[in-house]
Amino acid sequence: MGSMRPRVVIVGGGFGGLWAARTLAKAPVDVTLIDKNNYHTFLPLLYQVAAAELEPEDIAYPLRTILRKMPNTSFVMADVDGVDFDNRLVKSDGLSIAYDYLILAVGSTTQFFGVAGAAEFAFQLKSLDQAIEIRNHILSCFEMASVETDEEFRQHLLTFIIVGGGPTGVEFAGALAELINGPLKKDYPGLDLSCARVMILEAANSILFGFPQQQRQYALNRLRSMGVVVMLQTMVSHITQHTVHIKDRGVFPTETVLWTSGVTAAITPNWGLSTGRYGRVNVTSTLQLQDHPAVYIIGDMSSVDDGRPLLPMTAPVAIQEGIHAARNILLRLNEQNPLPFTFKDVGAMVTIGRNAAVVRMGKRDFTGFLAWLVWLVVHILNLIGFRNRMIVMLNWALDYIFSDRAVRLILPFKKIWYNKKD
Amino acid sequence: MGSMRPRVVIVGGGFGGLWAARTLAKAPVDVTLIDKNNYHTFLPLLYQVAAAELEPEDIAYPLRTILRKMPNTSFVMADVDGVDFDNRLVKSDGLSIAYDYLILAVGSTTQFFGVAGAAEFAFQLKSLDQAIEIRNHILSCFEMASVETDEEFRQHLLTFIIVGGGPTGVEFAGALAELINGPLKKDYPGLDLSCARVMILEAANSILFGFPQQQRQYALNRLRSMGVVVMLQTMVSHITQHTVHIKDRGVFPTETVLWTSGVTAAITPNWGLSTGRYGRVNVTSTLQLQDHPAVYIIGDMSSVDDGRPLLPMTAPVAIQEGIHAARNILLRLNEQNPLPFTFKDVGAMVTIGRNAAVVRMGKRDFTGFLAWLVWLVVHILNLIGFRNRMIVMLNWALDYIFSDRAVRLILPFKKIWYNKKD
């Protein structure tokens, strides 16, 4: 470009990266946003794609369309494989992109804690691709079960095990139970769905760790009333293609394991970044990398190493850190010192299914129908794109009225067809 | 089941198979519908998925949901690989499904007429998977072009060649030109799109063969005014990964060739069916297989061998034949003779883009805005499912008002990333 303006490179078009770009949109800098996908994913609703409640497109939005309103920002679709911090170059797919300031915001990926077979045989729910893979797999299990004559294997095909009772595990379990008891029951009149089973295996003695006791109990009761089997203090020792093994407690045969019990920064060792607690990169209280102050690291992939409690890996944290990192860069451009980041807690919410959610906002906790309405409104308002909002609202309204789901396509490319004796 | 009712097996859940099943819904027969997908595809709008105008889910509908209203019909998702006509068994994925009457309606697949490289390097547009593949590829070409420094290769990345000027080629060319000149122009402000090129190569001396001369001319003018290069009397001799070769006329470098110029029955030789004109299976005027009168073959995959002109491979033909085959089976059950099939021509229509279409209905031909409105209404009314209709209408309305497209996701799984020197 030949411009003399400072170059800010942002890696990652999630909540953190996008809000950093928005904050810089009117500043005298040239911004390059890099993402391996050409879309932003609204991750809080990802589990609904996996449960065939929303379509992938409903929760994704083209990054280039978002950037149309930011003339100082260009987009590069590339999979970043490392950073040359000394020469200030982002490396990706053969490209080298130079920066004066860098914001790393690539988010988190699944962490298996070394459980044997987990990486190989368990599904993950951290990206749109993975959500589609789970949806295809679950629907294929029902198709296979409908022609399976071996009763025992049919039971295994209809057993769905979720490892981890955090928000993702709880929300997905609720949505899957509703999928099975609603649309799939109508779709498979010849199949005895009383043997279908959704299970949550949680290592701690409670689900939704971190939520108030009354909310955890509400969620547990609610899940159980929907037929979800919740097993607490249950540690998975290893996983095979057809089984989940519990420490000292035996074996569950199943064709479907979803691993939601751990995350870590989505970087490989050759990024040369040392990670601390929960595999997150330590940064200063100003969100900078200690040895490379031109580099800011935000969102799920980082943690402030100043003795304060670790921040959760949520959209509000990423958004606030993205805005803060961008503002610190603007301060530096004015030769001022960057400021330490303070998180403003806006609360937390988890939905368990139709008319049921738990919400914590400020000092107020509530559960049930009102919480579910709040959850609905907050998620609709935060979805990017007028069209996505309308289509999600339309889908939810039709789901609610007809207890049915939009589309249950096994799409696209490869059908997942298993053999018992593989 | 232990039932003594006659078993009718229908292979294929397209227009033909579905309307046959509907016709049999109240009859004293047990029907099994087999399809390799768990959804029906509304093929007339497939090109809009390939051109990122509609989402795959908008034109697909779960077969099991359609069959909920037909208690005598069950569904099996399986890829049929042959029929044992002597023992009356449909073979598929290790299953054997017995029939008393069989309706084959598996449709058509791309026919390359032996053009070298075509099967290997050209895209096809006959299924939802293929439409998604084309969409991903085209959007990836734009992403690659946006970071490509070699001007010549950038030009090749932005050259899109469609082989065949029939309805599919014409509709897709128009939709692609509008995608490029509308949303993509806004998405890639840094990319010079004047070098982007959409071309139709047609072997005959006219596009839309079979339509009235005035309509063909209208469509040709319209395409050219949208910047589509239409080359008539142009025969493709062979295709490589990076080029299309024209008989006696040279070479076009391109990364994208879509082959729409030929179709044939979607069966393999081990079905043991002999094919006639256009690779279609010859049937009697009652739609039966000469040697196996329990077998009816309908839609794209068959042609009546009675000297009358060949029927087009369209939805109306498939629907009318599906209904007719089912009625002939009901006649046989009442020990009456099956009746010969007569096609009631309902017309034909092709859209070229915004406000432009050609329509033939009965004796009336018309073009332009009115034709486009008729096209719109007919397609919306024929889409299956209330929700699909609403979402397609909403998408089209927003497209029309904002000249934009819903979503342009490169989704899912593998990104198609090419090397110049492959």
pLDDT digits (tens, 9 = 90+) for B22-75: 999 999 999 999 999 999 999 999 999 999 988 888 899 899 989 999 999 999
pLDDT tens digit sequence for B118-130: 999 999 999 999 9
CB spacing of B387 vs A395 below 8 angstroms: yes
- Taking an 8 Å cut-off on Cβ atoms, the answer to whether B39 and A409 are in contact is yes
Angle of helix A167-179 versus helix A213-225 axis, rounded to 10: 20
Q: Which residue of B has its CA nearest to A390?
A: B394
Q: Are residues B56 and A390, on separate chains, in Cβ contact within 8 Å?
A: no
Cβ <8 Å between A390 and B390 = no
Give the per-residue pLDDT at B342.
95
**Which residue in the list B148, B171, B178, B255 is annotated as catalytic?**
B171
Check residues B415 and B349 and name the one with the higher pLDDT: B349
How many angstroms from the chain centroid is the CA of residue B141? Answer: 24
Q: Are B45 and B54 in contact (CB under 8 A)?
A: yes
CB < 8 Å to A30, chain B: none
Quote the strand ranges of A42-165, DSSP E.
Answer: 60-62, 73-77, 80-84, 89-92, 95-98, 101-104, 108-110, 159-163
- Check A143 against B77: CB less than 8 A apart: yes
* Helix pair angle (B386-402, B369-382), 10° resolution: 150
User: Which chain B residues have a beta carbon less than 8 Å from that of A153?
Assistant: none
Q: Give the residue on B whose Cα is nearest the Cα of A131.
A: B412
Average pLDDT value over all residues in chain A: 90
Could A387 and B406 be called an inter-chain contact, meaning their C-beta atoms sit closer than 8 Å? yes
Interchain contact, B77 vs A413, CB within 8 Å: no
List CB contacts of B139: < 8 A, sequence separation 6 or more: A38, B52, B408, B409, B410
Higher-confidence residue: A394 or B194? B194
Q: Find the mean pLDDT for residues B111-116.
A: 94
* Beta-carbon separation of A189 and B71 below 8 A: yes
Across the interface, of B64, B139, B387, the residue whose CB is closest to A398 is: B387
- Pick the residue with more confidence: A186 or A103? A103
Do B385 and B163 meet the contact criterion of CB atoms below 8 Å apart? no
How many CA atoms lie less than 13 Å away from B88 in the CB half-sphere? 16
**Is-contact A203 A197, C-beta < 8 A?**
no
Q: How close B77 comes to chain A (CA, Å)?
A: 7
Catalytic residue annotation of A: 171
Rounded to the nearest integer, the mean pLDDT of chain B is: 90
Distance between B143 CA and the closest CA of chain A, angstroms: 7
Task: Specify the pTM.
Answer: 0.90
Q: Which of chain A's residues have a Cβ under 8 Å away from the Cβ of B421?
A: none
Nearest to B324 by CA among B7, B11, B15, B19: B19
Give the span between the Cα atoms of B150 and B138, in whole angstroms: 19
Instruction: Give chain B positions within 8 Å (CB) of A407.
Output: 39, 57, 60-62, 387
CA distance linking residue B358 with residue B375, whole number of Å: 8
Inter-chain contact A64–B188, Cβ cutoff 8 Å? Answer: yes
Q: What is the pLDDT of residue A405?
A: 61
Rounded to the nearest 5 degrees, what angle is found at the Cα of A123, between the Cα atoms of A117 and A126?
125
By DSSP bridging, strand A364-367 and strand B95-98 are: unpaired
pLDDT tens for A36-64 read 999 999 999 999 999 998 888 889 989 99
User: Are A56 and B412 inside 8 Å of each other by CB?
Assistant: yes
How high is the pLDDT of residue A272? 87
Residue of A nearest to B79 (CA): A415
Taking residue B304's Cβ as centre, other Cβ atoms within 10 Å add up to 22
Task: Determine the angle formed by the axes of helices B386-402 and A386-402, rounding to 10 degrees.
Answer: 170
B68 to chain A: which residues are within 8 Å by CB? 186-187, 189
Contacts of A76 in chain B (CB under 8 A): 146-147
Question: Looking at CA atoms only, how far is residue A38 from chain B in angstroms?
Answer: 6
Who has greater pLDDT, B30 or B274?
Answer: B30
pLDDT at B179 over 70: yes
**Subunit contact A411:B188, Cβ cutoff 8 A:** no
Looking at residue A347, the DSSP 8-state letter turns out to be -
Q: How far off is chain B from A216, nearest CA to CA, in Å?
A: 35
Tens of pLDDT, residues A130-180 = 999 999 999 999 999 999 989 999 999 999 999 999 999 999 999 999 999
Using a CB-CB cut-off of 8 Å, the residues of chain B touching A132 are: 411-413
* Element containing residue A394 per DSSP (H, E): helix A386-402
Q: Which residues of A touch B406 (CB under 8 A)?
A: 57, 387
What was the pLDDT predicted at B243?
96
A404 pLDDT band, cuts 50/70/90, is low
Distance from CA of B205 to the nearest CA of A (A): 37
B189/chain A closest Cα distance in angstroms:
8
How far apart are alpha carbons B401 and B399 in whole angstroms? 6
Q: Read off the tokens for A175.
A: 């949505």
CA closest to A65 among chain B residues: B187
The answer to whether the CB atoms of B409 and A76 lie below 8 A apart is no
Residue B264 has pLDDT above 80, yes or no: yes
Nearest to A55 among B57, B76, B78 (CB): B57
Answer whether residue A416 shows pLDDT above 60: no
Structural domains of chain A, with CATH: 7-36+78-110+263-333 (3.50.50.60), 118-261+348-402 (3.50.50.100)
pLDDT band at A421 (very low <50, low <70, confident <90, very high): very low
| Closest chain A CA to residue B131 | A412
Asked if residue B343 has pLDDT above 50, the reply is yes
Residue A417, min C-alpha distance to chain B (Å): 10
Kindly report, residue by residue over A343-381, the tens digit of the pLDDT.
Answer: 999 899 999 988 999 999 888 899 999 999 999 888 988
